[in-house]
Amino acid sequence: MTTTDCFNASRRIRVSALRRAMTLVEVLVVITILTMLAAVLLPALNSARETGRANACQTNLRQIGAGLATHATLHGKMCSGAFDWRYDGCVTEKGWVADLMAQGAPVGKMLCPSNPAKICEVFNDLATMDATVDDCVDRLGSPSETAPDGSTISNPCRTIAGLAAGEARNEIIEKQIYNKHYNTNYVPSWFLVRSMVNLNDSGQIKTDKATCPASLLSTHSTQGPLDRAQADAAGMSNSFIPLMGCGAPNSTLTVDIASLNNTPAVRTMTRGPVLKATLQAPAPADGTSYGGAAGWWAIWNNTTLQDYRDFGPVHRGACNILFADGSVRVVVDTNGDGLLNNGFTAASDGDGGFTSDTVELSPDEFFSCWSLKAKSK
């Protein structure tokens, strides 16, 4: 090859390389196109992920519904109560979580994946309450047993009741309750765990035990967990009686359990029938008559609604809810206030009231009366 040939070959290589190289403008154009594609695709990807989480949540609720139906077949009632140490008792032996755990369902692993709250507020009580003596609720549960080696075997509720609040107690709670999957971020309806309220002749909430305070949340003031016969005899189809829903992150875990200190938590149940005007339970005066426009029946029937503020629209403004017929439906927070309104007007009571009177839970499809015997209004 001559010198001239070598020169020409080198020149062709340089020209070819220059032609293949990208200019700064071309690089910027490519980056812009990629950025635009990312902007378009990322929301779609996030939406697809949320759809997957919502579907997983609905599957969890259907499994919970099947477990409640099984419990009703075996025991009459759909569950034994709420997952609530304060009002129902030992959480590993009493309540809907314990019921499903006894069936082999790891409830603590069946969490709503979209919910920022990953734990129930009952753990605050477990870590701090003094429960050694209580005439109203059996918080200790089953008695201790003696093992063949002479050691004592106790359930975790009985064990923690003998410990002062602190690290040692939290360790037992974490290892023997939380890590054993006794946990949830779903909230049962008041109907499921309390069914109906007991009233005296003046229409006041009464207790069947004088030493126990009267309360919509107390088992001593209500008829206990829902049974199938009550649901079938209700004033509305089973397909409209809510049993369980995604929990609203309304409270905070104040103790260190599984490194979740100061994280959002859900309540143990919805709060039952309350007055539309005040969001508080009715309290008629002594001597209030049963009938008439000013009677206590009119107060309870015409001026109250079930308080469902503890159901949370955690799926981008939507909430999955399990109904008594086993179906799961989606309800939407249309006004974006974080609450699901079933007929309340805008409240200014300072207790998490509704910001508008927009109705998101239609009374024709969502049972909200004070009693299962009442007709939907």
- Give pLDDT tens digits for 206-222: 999 998 999 999 999 99
Q: Which residue in the block uniquely carries the two structure tokens 């599957």?
A: 59
CB neighbour list of residue 18: distance below 8 Å, 6 or more residues apart: none
Which pTM does this prediction carry? 0.86
**Alpha-carbon gap, residue 214 to 222, rounded angstroms:** 9
Which residue type occupies 13?
A: I
| Number of other CB atoms surrounding residue 134 within 10 Å | 16
First to last CA, the chain: 101
The token duo for 195 is: 């069914």
pLDDT value, residue 59: 97
240-274 residues labelled b (16+ CB within 10 A) or e (exposed): bbbbbbbbbbbbebebebbebeebbbbbbbbbbbb
- Give pLDDT tens digits for 234-250: 878 999 999 999 999 98
Check whether 7 has a pLDDT greater than 50: no
Task: Please give the angle made by the CA atoms of 225, 158 and 213, to the nearest 5 degrees.
Answer: 45
Check whether 122 has a pLDDT greater than 60: yes
Q: Of 91, 99, 102, 97, which is closest to residue 72 (Cα–Cα)?
A: 99
Mean pLDDT value across residues 88-106: 97
pLDDT value, residue 131: 75
Tell me what percent of the chain is helix, strand and coil, each rounded to the nearest 5.
35, 10, 55
The token duo for 60 is: 């969890």
Q: Which residue in the block uniquely carries the two structure tokens 């079930």?
A: 306
Burial zone of 352 (CB within 10 Å; 0-12 exposed, 13-18 middle, 19+ buried): middle
Check whether 17 has a pLDDT greater than 50: no
pLDDT value, residue 146: 87
Check whether 348 has a pLDDT greater than 70: no
The token duo for 224 is: 């206990």
Tell me the domain boundaries of the chain: 3-332
Span of 10-14, 37-41, 179-183, 258-262 with lowest mean pLDDT? 10-14
Check: CB of residue 184 under 8 Å from CB of residue 246.
no
Q: Of 175, 193, 64, 77, which is closest to residue 126 (Cα–Cα)?
A: 175
Mean pLDDT value across residues 112-121: 97
